[in-house]
Amino acid sequence: MSIFLNALQKASSLQIIVLCECGLIEFFCEYLKHENPQNIKSALDGIAIVLNHGAQLASQNKTDNPFRVKFDEKGGIELLEGLQSHPSGEIYEKTFKILETHYEIEDQ
């Protein structure tokens, strides 16, 4: 997991596109299902990086975030919603930040 996170932090948008085409989003979605909190936190960090790059691409091209679309298709939003009730405060915070940044969330 740390290899992917290190690669993402230094990757260009083109490299992230290639990684996502090779299944990176699916990989992160699977890790969101793990019981190990460190795996979940790492997956959330990776998803945040990918979605942030996608938001930049969407802004430049005046389109939808291509990575968010793929993440949604793989059930990512449901996984994030489920993590909002995770007992780890850090996981809750990371999840909330992604939802707040990339999705319209309702005040509760």
The answer to whether the beta carbons of residues 73 and 62 sit under 8 Å apart is: no
pTM of the predicted protein model: 0.91
Length of the chain measured in residues: 108
63 or 108, higher pLDDT: 63
Task: Please state whether 62 falls in left (phi above 0), alpha (psi between -120 and 50) or beta.
Answer: left
Q: What is the pLDDT of residue 6?
A: 85
108, part of any domain: no
**Residue found under tokens 């992917």:** 4
Distance in angstroms (rounded) separating the CA atoms of residues 27 and 7: 14
CA dihedral 13, 11, 4, 103 (to 10 degrees): -40
Domain membership of residue 107 (yes or no) is no
* Domain tally, the chain: 1
Give the model's pLDDT for residue 18: 94
pLDDT, greater one: 95 or 3: 95
Q: For residue 107, what pLDDT is reported?
A: 52
Q: In the structure, what pLDDT confidence band is assigned to residue 104 with cuts at 50, 70 and 90?
A: confident
Segment 32-89, tens digit of pLDDT: 999 999 999 999 999 999 999 999 999 999 999 999 999 999 999 999 999 999 999 9
Does residue 51 fall inside a structural domain? yes
Domain enclosing residue 30, as ranges: 2-102
CATH assignment of the domain containing 94: 1.25.10.10
Domain assignment of residue 69, yes or no = yes
What one-letter code names the amino acid at 34?
H
* Residues 92-102, mean pLDDT to the nearest whole number: 96
Most confident stretch, 9-13, 92-96, 104-108:
92-96
